[in-house]
Structure 1
Amino acid sequence: MDRQKPLRLVDLAAQSLLEDEAAAIATLQSLQRECFPPLFVLAVAGRRCRTVQAMVEAWPFPYLPLGALLKTLQCDQDILKAALKGIDVLLTCDFRPTHWKLQVLDLRSDAETNFWHVWAGLGDGVSASLSCESVAAQASPERRGVGHACTREKEQHSAEAGVLVLLSDLCFTEPSPDELLTFLAKRVKENKLLPQLCCRRLQFIFEPLTLHIITKIFDKVHLDCVEEVEVRCHWEMKYIVKFTQYLRKMVHLKSLYFGQAFLDHWTHWEATAVTWLCAHFSSAVVHLQHLRHLHICGTSSLLGQFHQVFRHLEAPLESLGLTDSCITGSDLEYLSRCSSICRLSILHLRNVQMVGVDAGFLNILLERISGTLKELDLSGCGMTDTEFTAILPALGRCSQLDFLRFCGNSVSMDVLQSLLLRTLPQNMIRVLETPLPRECYVSCGGTRTVDMTTVRNWLDQLNQILEDLGLGLEWLEQNLYPEKNCISVTFDFTL
């Protein structure tokens, strides 16, 4: 019979101490620092907010990975709010006791650290031979390499200046911002000192705070630590101009996403204003030498402006998404010869209307990236037999392709069959989403409906094609979606 692992003496002492929260807080002044982590874990697990606040104030180590602990114990925002109250006290103090060592509060839920495993005994494989000094050094930001540019010099400078550093993603949302954003905005409004901020990800989901608050917060962000930026909200011209000024300083940015809401209202601006903004953005992009992933949703306002947007983009992109919009022939022509997309592994042109656009440029683009392309999404592009026939040569050369989606287009059985026979033997496709052939639809009372008899005949043909190619097919019938007018196929490459 399994026996429950007995509690350690330090755990029993911590439990006993927390029974009287006032006494526990009073004891922190004389508590040995090795007792802090197990006591802190129990305080967080027990939702003892007052104790958590007091322990953050008196934390005897330079580093506190709170985010990882909150995720492990599935805590709510109350604990984070309590911890930030402790930070508020530390930022206000003119003098701190020498045993209060906190320099960095890490709020990232995926922070790589075994701090809690070593100090608080969480999980297996805890080494009892590690000394206090070695574990403290292991948990310090200098040893862990926080971000690209949050270097040892920055951390030491912040510590010498008595300024705390928060490691956290920032999500600017209203009307329900998280506790961290509420904390920062409140300090700005009260004209109080802000901590330094090292952020890996910045998100702007809804209408932002006032430009004054945004500017004050960004002045404390180490912009060269930012790796991902996502913008989904409407912005006035002044916000966009300010944002591009910050963007040029994000020199280690890897991923940039613009949602449709960001660009929708650009269509109401004068063409000269849009051209000026594109040029302004382009001048910022030249500094982003590490940018690898770019997704722009709703590019209709950028029609004819792709040369402005991409001309200074020198770093080779790994993924490019241009979705939910229209594209002009000149834009597609420019993309087909743009040097920054010659190594793409992911290309998403979902719901990009290319009606009347010469598909030959798309064929050239696919040929240029045929050696690296792994994922291609052409769904909802309004393409017909003519366009797909034009790109067949390039698709046949995409030797690394393992995901292909082109549902939502009007294609005949003959062209679909040619596409499968030309493409499947040459690449590594495992997931394929195709439209139902044009012949599967019938007109009834002015509306189009799916003729299931024709669909079943097509499925039989499709299955025969795959068998002739020596490809195993999984769950064909279960992946038929008449309501979406597509078929999803998963292949099993066991020849």
Structure 2
Amino acid sequence: MDLEAPPTLLQLAAQCTVRKEVLTISDLQDLPMKLFPPLFKEADIQRKAKMIKLLVEYWPYPRLLVGLLIVKPNLETFQAILEGVGTWLKRKYRPRMGKLQVVDLRNGHHDFWDMQAGREGGDQLVETMPEKQEVEGHSRRQHLRVFSDLSFKSSRHEDKQQTHLLQWAKDREGFLHMCCEKLEIGALEVSKVKKVLKLLQPEFIKELELNTVGNLSKLTKLVPCISKMRNLQKLMLVRIFGRHTYTPLEERNVTKILSLFPKLSYLQHLTIDDVYFLRDHMNELFRCLEAPLLSLTITRCQISQSDLESFAQHWNYGQLKHLCLKGVCLSTLNVKPLKFFLESVADTLQTLELEDCRMEDSNLRILLPALTKCTHLTSINFYDNNISRVVLQDLLHRTANMSQLTMELYPAPLEVYNVWSYYVQVEKFSRLCAELMNTLITVRQPKSVCFGTYSCYDCDTRCIYGNQTTFCECLE
């Protein structure tokens, strides 16, 4: 039985000091720097909001990294931190406290050196900015920077801490810069979104998720705001609804949205999930990409033959590491362009996800020569495709050179299902999957392999054959 280590003398001193609340302003002015973090942590444990406010007012380090000291502070503690920062901003004379440059409210992985030496993501971003942006941002360094991730999924679900933070920042707009690296926008009125974006420094935004923002017209109205996020590295368009036939107005809106991409010269990760308006426009989108993508995720979207052909055209895919086409139906398309594309990215591709593409034997046979060349793959997923045992065996034989694979997900062969439905025949499932596993073991030593059926119509779980065999709830 492991015994908990006894508290150190420093921890005991911090506990006693916080419990008795004996710290005064003169004490804080002379207090050694290294005592501030343990006192801050202990004040949070004992829920001493007044002491937290006082410690923030006299914080001696260049950075106050809240996530390093507290895991998800409650509202009272969060308000105390902001009140302390507000008092610090009002002070005209700051002897030891003048060092404070950044208040980081995010829950992140920091270490003490980050706080002491001042390493944080915002500075790295400024270093990579174009010359014009550096000049424009020179005065910004004289302002306190406050970092926080923000999420506006719905007006129905208000985040009290976030609401308080934004009002607090608005009241002190001339004294600090509100910086957000990760921003999520959902079903919120455009006018409210624009008000929030006015508070933020757009060049600091690295990740943007637009989730269920509404129709195409609403998304178009946000384009001028997004175009200012010139250091954006990750963009996710999720659940943009509309008709599958375009009016002239919608065509113009699509053009406006696509005009955004050439301005995002640092974009590396693009996700398009359940978005209707890019059908027959993928070629235009790919041509607009300035920077080489590292990951491309297209899920639950309907694409045309011309869209698939655009993959094989000349665009910035030379550094692509991750490709996901989950839920993109390929069974009715000629997948030769995808074969050529896979051959083109074979030297860099590390993960490939073709789950629920409804591919049949003929589709996969076309892709097999290209897949053989993707020797740097570490993860593959072919779940929910209609593949026979013979073609699956061929696929497994062709993975002989894929020694870096650590995760492999294959569909159970078509033969395991009842002839008239997709209900699983248990004995056949176990036998055929065992044969396929043996085929793979004769080729190489796999690390983690699973053969999975379609999800059961009744209980929505799969039968899985791997290190352990599990059946759906209906068959157990």
Cα distance, 1:418–1:216 mapped onto 2, change above 3 Å: same
Q: Provide closer, same or farther for how the CA distance between residues 467 and 188 of structure 1 changes in structure 2, counting only shifts above 3 A.
A: closer
Are 1:219 and 2:198 an aligned pair? yes
Aligned partner letter, 1:453: E
Aligned counterpart, 1:96: 92
1:272 Cα offset (Å): 3.0
Whole-angstrom CA distance in 2 between matches of 1:188 and 1:268: 42
Q: 2:260 is matched with which residue: 284, 291, 294? A: 284
Q: Which runs of 5+ in 1 are unaligned?
A: 118-134, 491-495
Secondary structure at 1:252 match in 2:
coil
Query: Could you state the TM-score of these two structures normalised by the residue count of structure 2?
Result: 0.82
The alignment partner of 1:350 has SS state of coil
Structure 1 residue ranges (4+ consecutive) displaced by more than 6 angstroms after TM superposition: 150-156, 188-192, 473-477, 479-482
Measured at CA, do residues 474 and 15 of structure 1 come closer, stay the same or move farther in structure 2, by a change above 3 Å? closer
Give the secondary structure class of the aligned counterpart of 1:301: coil
Cα drift, residue 215 of structure 1: 2.7
Kindly provide the amino acid, as one letter, of the partner of residue 400 in structure 1. Answer: H
- Confirm or deny: 8 A CA contact 1:68 1:108 kept in the other structure: no
The one-letter code matched in structure 2 to 1:157 is S
Q: How high is the TM-score relative to the length of structure 1?
A: 0.79
Deviations along 1:455-492, one digit per CA (max 9) or x if unpaired, are 23312321331243243576879x788745665658xx
C-alpha spacing 1:323/1:338, structure 2 compared with 1 (3 Å): farther
Structure 2 residue identity aligned to 1:221: L
Residue 362 of structure 1: which of 338, 341, 344 is its match? 338
Do the aligned residues in 2 keep the contact of 1:440 with 1:451 (CA within 8 Å)? Answer: yes
Residues in 2 aligned to 1:474 and 1:59: alpha-carbon distance in whole angstroms: 49
Q: Tell me the residue number matched to 1:130.
A: none
Structure 1 140/361 Cα, relative in aligned 2: closer, same or farther at 3 Å?
Answer: closer
List per-residue Cα deviations over 1:379-404 (Å, max 9, x = no partner).
Answer: 11111111111111111221212322
Tell me which residue corresponds to 1:441. Answer: 417
Q: Judge conservation of contact 1:233–1:259 (CA < 8 Å) in 2.
A: yes
1:207 is the counterpart of 2:209: no
User: Counterpart of 2:203 in structure 1: which amino acid?
Assistant: D
SS at match of 2:346: coil
Aligned to 2:358: 382
Task: Give the one of 152, 157, 164 matched to 1:172.
Answer: 152
Amino acid at match of 1:66: V
Aligned to 1:493: none
What displacement does 1:51 show?
A: 2.0
Larger CA deviation: 187-196 vs 353-362: 187-196
User: Aligned residue for 1:196?
Assistant: 177
Q: Please give the residue correspondences for 1:222-233 in structure 2 after superposition, counting only pairs within 5 Å.
A: 222-233=201-212
In structure 2, the partner of 1:186 is 167
Q: 1:385 to 1:82 in 2, by over 3 A?
A: same
Residues 115 and 255 of structure 1, relative CA distance in 2, 3 Å threshold: same
1:464 pairs with one of 428, 438, 463: 438
On the 8 A contact 2:202/2:229 being kept in 1, the answer is: yes
Root mean square deviation, CA, Å:
3.5
Contact in 1 for aligned 2:349/2:374 (Cα 8 Å)? yes
Q: Is the 8 A contact 2:450 2:466 kept in 1?
A: yes
What is the SS of the residue equivalent to 1:442? coil
Structure 2: state its 5+ residue gaps. 468-476
**Is 1:147 matched with 2:132?**
no
Summarize deviations over 1:401-456 as a string: whole Å, max 9, x none.
2322111111111211222223334564332211121111114xx64321122223
Equivalent position SS for 2:297: strand
Change (3 A) 1:355 1:113: same
Against the structure 1 CA distance between its residues 62 and 344, is the aligned structure 2 distance closer, same or farther, given a 3 Å change threshold? closer
* Residue identity in the other structure for 2:76: D
Would the aligned equivalents of 1:431 and 1:489 in 2 still touch at CA under 8 Å?
Answer: no
| Cα drift, residue 231 of structure 1 | 2.0
Percent identity over paired residues: 25
Matched residues in 2 for 1:342 and 1:207: separation? 35
Give the secondary-structure state (helix, strand or coil) at the position aligned to 2:418.
Answer: strand
Check the 8 A contact 1:433/1:489 in 2, yes or no.
no
Provide, for residues 142-194 of structure 1, a one-character-per-residue CA deviation record: whole Å limited to 9, x for no partner: xx87331279988873464xx43102222224434445521244358879757
- Which residue identity is paired with 1:46? Q
Deviations 1:168-225 (A, max 9, x none): 2222244344455212443588797573122221122x423x5444334323423222
360 and 267 in structure 1: CA distance in 2 versus 1, 3 angstrom threshold: same
Partner of 1:70: 70
DSSP-derived class of the 2:200 partner: coil
